[in-house]
Structure 1
Amino acid sequence: MNNIRWPTFITITAALCTAVFFTTFLIGGPATTNAAVAIDPHRASFGICFGPDRFTCVVDGDTIWFEGRKIRIADINTPEISNSGCAAEKRLGEQAKIRFQNLLNEGAFSLETTDRDQDQYGRDLRIITRSGHSLGETLVAEGLAERWRGYRRDWC
């Protein structure tokens, strides 16, 4: 510090403070914030699907419409709502649908591809993640879904 004169020290300190202020307040924070956006590029407000016009909404716990594309969540299976085998399955299916809607609306997410692009019904097969963690796995952990094993389970 003996070799640096006060005017030089003040100039350097002011420049560093200006850079921190500019980064934090004017361009939205440090670079790590922008990296998070690149990791999870999608964000939307999901409603519950009603009627024939569907663009961005939740059908049930493992099917959504996103930007006009019908997507089947590839890593889970949830109880059926429309063709349920019993009242308990329908109730659990409704819970899964509402919980999945809430999870989707909590923030940005990614759509990851699987070994197949579409299923036999023409739905896009995707795993939905946030910060690298599957939202479907959250439903599994909460007892509202099971991991997809290639067939549907009897929930009754």
Structure 2
Amino acid sequence: MKQLKNILIIGFCLLIATLTQAQKKSNRLINDFMKVEGNWTGQLTYLDYSSGKPYTMSAELEIKRIPNTNEFLFVHTYPKEKSANKTDTITISKDGQYIGKEKLVSRTKLPKGNMRIITEKEGKDGNDGKKATIRQTYILGNTSFSTQKDVLFSGETTWIKRHEYVYKKQHD
């Protein structure tokens, strides 16, 4: 009986330690994204699969946390292409392992206090919807913010840069 009690106590302690560690990971990501809340201006460059050429257009972004949640709104505005405007909701999982459906691959501190976060997911991309691994790289800084989507099609060995957003912080 004493042995069973000890096993249960050890198991409970391991569970608490695991949950505490998961909460720390989630809080780190939430804090990372809270640092980039606000208004940003810059540009989107994306690969047009039809022509095979990159296309660049101006872009603005507002990032704001939904109060008391693990969610952030990304309000994308394209001044010259209003029909492309959209709002995305980014959700950080409670265990800190996912941003939306994308698995956290790495979180690396960079010079000047910037942070690089890389996520990946399996999905489809391209005009014909080919299976692919999709990698998202976020660079979060006090005055700059960027996201880059890279695609590795099934059976291929070369990553393709699908698009990149590069922003500078707007000062109110």
TM-score normalised to the size of structure 1? Answer: 0.35
Larger radius of gyration, structure 1 or 2?
1
Q: Which has the higher strand share?
A: 2
Q: Which has the higher helix share?
A: 1
TM-score normalised to the size of structure 2? Answer: 0.33
RCO higher in 1 or 2 (8 Å CA, sep ≥ 6)?
Answer: 1
